[in-house]
Structure 1
């Protein structure tokens, strides 16, 4: 389903509800979390999308955020504890706790005109792990999109299945520690060991099968190959009777460097459709 917005004809001018970009400091258990809220033009309330970046966060998919704002959705992106100026130390469990902190903060908001019946989530790379975990745990997330997700919880399973793939993932984690406060590969691996029964996304398939899930795979992805990071979850959702899974496979790399416009089209069409369907169901 295509968006109804004609980008060449929408100009808000000098009106009270112009699009805006707002820096927000969200208080968390380890101190401040630095966030940015992209607000759409026009009178609200507007749906909200939480956008989770990967590790260490060089690619933040802000072009996706801008596109979703043009579609009339709020988009909130933030930095996890220990990354890019946010307080505290970086860890996988802290990432998950930060995601809930941010969601709870926005659920309490009374200023930005958020439609709290239509809250969604997107995660790229390791942000896909965070997004999947949050979406499975919290009923407030009505739908989610996983973009080239890194299912870090499967690290040791991947090591058994494909040594080269696990080595590539290990190197990514090792290089990322240079950007992150308190991060060490050994600590990541210990977290994965201690949570091996709940960290892999396919262990959450029965919960994610209850809501719309979009998974975008990159066929040239050497960092998070779909067969290790997407397919186990997809198979899990389908085996539990899930009917709302959508999968797109793109002939591109982990960050969709040469497929940005196609990625944006897929994501915006998906959220426009699920948001419209949700609005229609609420009005009946």
Structure 2
């Protein structure tokens, strides 16, 4: 089984990649050897954020040692959870904490874009709890986010203890303020967001108000520049968000690098016909970067 991957900084600096046909990592298509003493697990957990306990899934890799760990952040509202990626990373020896946010899919608390950033920070605190040191290698925690989860990932660039970052079709929420600043613009934009908003306990009006109020705090390039000094993988598709990924790369490079790995796939926002390629790219990058 061969998958066409665009390999960038795994081998060469950003912007000079060439397409290569490569075998996907074994974890993409094969189960690991059994470990009857310390088998892999899927554990239902709750993490504390904003005064409530929010559900999450903790995929624990096999083996007795502390494992590198991914914090997996889904998009808005979470139709695509990317749990197939979680399983591949688990088979590759990584723990994965896949969280929900407050106020979405029945989780307690109030949903807000700013709250999703706080929720992600709270999930990192949960992973770093001393009670989990036997399972989690806190020196190798990587934040991976898709769409709105990519927005949260960029906003976590100021967390100096995060070892690396992965953005997949990241959404620049702050940039939406430009088209939500007038009543007429909001009326035109509301149908685009209505269905997703309906899965949360937030209103479109409150979301628009929050975006406009935080346009400066959520400045994309400034926050992305704070990821500098750590490995970064930026993945995009043909969904129109690639310029935001380019801006992440430019911001990191402008703050001293190192050069992020930059991948682009010819598919849609959910990577529906590129799931194997996506899992291969993410897992290969993790294994190569944090071996």
TM-score, scaled to structure 1: 0.86
User: Which residue among 119, 122, 129 is the counterpart of 2:141?
Assistant: 119
Q: Is 1:33 matched up with 2:54?
A: yes
Aligned to 2:18: none
**Change beyond 3 A, Cα 1:109–1:117:** same
SS at match of 2:120: helix
The SS at the match of 2:193 is: helix
The secondary structure found in structure 1 opposite 2:285 is: helix
- Specify every segment of 5 or more residues in structure 2 that has no aligned partner in the other structure, as ranges: 1-9, 11-23
Which shows bigger deviation, 56-65 or 136-145?
Answer: 136-145
The aligned counterpart of 1:226 is 242
In the other structure, the counterpart of 2:111 is: 90
Ranges in structure 1 where 5+ consecutive residues have no aligned partner:
277-284
Which runs of structure 2 are paired with 1:58-207 in the superposition (5 Å)?
58-111=79-132, 113-134=135-156, 136-157=157-178, 170-181=190-201, 183-207=202-226
Matches within 5 A, 1:261-276: 261-276=276-291
Distance in 1, matches of 2:76 and 2:66, equals 32
Change (3 A) 1:170 1:137: farther
Quick one: structure 1 residues 149 and 16, their matched pair in 2 at CA, closer, same or farther if it must change by over 3 Å? same
- Residues 104-113 or 63-72, more deviating: 104-113
Cα separation, 2, equivalents of 1:261 and 1:153: 31
The 10-residue stretch of structure 1 (166-175 or 66-75) with the greater mean CA deviation from structure 2: 166-175
| Higher normalized contact order (CA 8 Å, seq sep 6+, divided by chain length) | 2
Q: Is the 8 A contact 1:34 1:85 kept in 2?
A: no
Question: Against the structure 1 CA distance between its residues 57 and 168, is the aligned structure 2 distance closer, same or farther, given a 3 Å change threshold?
Answer: farther
- Provide the rounded CA distance (Å) in 1 between the counterparts of 2:269 and 2:138: 32
- Aligned twin of 1:210: 229
Deviations 1:98-156 (A, max 9, x none): 1111111110142451111111110001010011111x121121101000111111113
Residue 36 of structure 1: how far off its partner (Å): 0.6
Q: Aligned equivalents of 1:159 and 1:231: distance in 2?
A: 24
Counterpart-to-counterpart distance in 2, 1:38 and 1:180: 25
- Check conservation: 1:21, 1:36, Cα contact below 8 A: yes
Alpha-carbon shift at residue 9 of structure 1 (Å): 6.8
Equivalent position SS for 1:110: helix
CA distance in 1, matches of 2:70, 2:222: 24
SS at match of 1:247: strand
Deviation (angstroms), 1:211: 1.2
> Does residue 11 of the first structure (1) align with residue 33 of the second (2)?
yes
Number of equivalenced pairs: 265
The DSSP-based 3-state class of the residue aligned with 2:153 is: helix
Partner of 1:280: none
Partner Cα separation in structure 1 for residue 85 and residue 166 of structure 2: 12
Between structures 1 and 2, the one with greater helix share: 1
TM-score, with normalisation over the residues of structure 2? 0.84
Distance in 2 of aligned mates of 1:210 and 1:167 = 42
